[in-house]
Amino acid sequence: MQCRIEHAVGRQEFESKLGFLSSQVIQHRVRDLRVSPVTSGFRAFTHKRFGCRWVQSNGSTHTKESNVSISNTKVERLRNWLKKLNHDDCNLKLERCPQGGSGSGYGAFAGPGGVGNGSTIVKVPRKALMTEETARLCQDVGPLVKKSDLTPWQAMCLHLLYERARGETSFWYPYIAVLPKELELIGIHPMLWSQKMRREWLEGSPMLDVTERRLAICREDYEAMLLAGAGRLTPRGNEGEPISITETAVQWAATMLLSRSFSLNLQTQKLRPGSFAEDTIALVPWADMLNHSSSAGRESCLVYDQKSGVATLQAHRTYSEGEQVFDSYGPSCSPSRLLLDYGFVDEENTNHSVDLPMEQSSL
């Protein structure tokens, strides 16, 4: 079982450059404090809207919303596209979240009769997923990835940018059309904050260093893509100008993967005794529209069923008709991890953590 935040190959690749703990490293726990070089204390955020997903106050529960803004037409187009792929919406409907302040966002709400505890609330067929495999199978991106030294993470970023450039001719157009644009995320997600905002909000916190190192990695990824010839790719079905590969575009793609991707075991081959399958980073349309709740546990994490070829997710409690349904981005997500990866904070999150700097002895 894997949560959106848990160890994906692509995420490990991205984070290993930052010195983050891998899935093989034991993460120490002192009571409820998770010791990780990713997180530590930071300024007390009083603003409720951060990231490409907004924090919303709903009664006594603080949650966040799934998107900056999406038109009903785009949502319906996404629903119809997934329906043709045999997607089951499991009695959920995407609707604009009510909120007292300005702005808007979407969430998943229980349909007639509500949703029972433990019932399946997400069923997305594998054909709808965007993965490193689909990048390699792409007629234009695939050959470039195979002949270059692009990493799985870079391949996914390029794949997403290429399919976005294809516009309506892309198989994933209904999904990509609902993703927030760069301009919508400026000043929202830490990866696309201005330098002034990063300094103002993160000064004195290890999160500033992590964010700036992530941006440096994006710059390296951008240069690697150009070196591989990505700037000369002409989107299939949209003949004319080559795909626009800019540093900001790569930052956007990385932000999408950090904030929306899942870690899934998509291994189809039978493993030899004693061997283990590596998880794959995947963009899962519809599933990434659900909002996070810190009260949801591992039972509300997306899993992939090998036999049916469908990614599924179960409800962690009973929901009445019209009530917003939540999933978990990881039961151990700390407030700083939520901000860094997903661009929001949850005041009810109790997974506070602290950095314990450690140096490896030369002995």
Structure-token match 């661009």, residue found: 343
Average pLDDT, the chain: 74
Amino acid 347: pLDDT: 67
Beta bridge partners of 130: 283
Amino acid 363: pLDDT: 59
pLDDT band for position 222 (50/70/90)?
very high
CA distance 33 to 334: 9
Least trusted range by pLDDT, from 44-48, 156-160, 327-331: 44-48
Pull the structure tokens for residue 93. Answer: 């409907």
Nearest to 191 by CA among 301, 341, 304, 48: 341
pLDDT digits (tens, 9 = 90+) for 115-124: 999 999 999 9
Pull the structure tokens for residue 246. Answer: 């800019």
Residue 6 reports pLDDT greater than 60? no
Nearest to 263 by CA among 152, 174, 108: 152
Amino acid 220: pLDDT: 97
Least trusted range by pLDDT, from 38-42, 142-146, 226-230: 38-42
H runs (alpha helix) in the chain:
9-16, 72-84, 132-137, 141-147, 152-166, 173-176, 182-185, 195-202, 206-228, 247-260, 335-337
Residue 237 reports pLDDT greater than 50? yes
In the chain, what are the domains?
9-20+48-346 (3.90.1410.10)
* Mean pLDDT confidence for 130-146: 94
Amino acid 193: pLDDT: 87
Residue 105 reports pLDDT greater than 90? no
Residue 35 reports pLDDT greater than 80? no
pLDDT digits (tens, 9 = 90+) for 148-183: 989 999 999 999 999 999 999 999 999 999 998 888
pTM here?
Answer: 0.76
Residue 251 reports pLDDT greater than 70? yes
Looking at per-residue pLDDT, the higher value among 331 and 215 belongs to: 215
pLDDT digits (tens, 9 = 90+) for 285-313: 999 888 877 777 677 788 898 889 999 98
Amino acid at 346: D
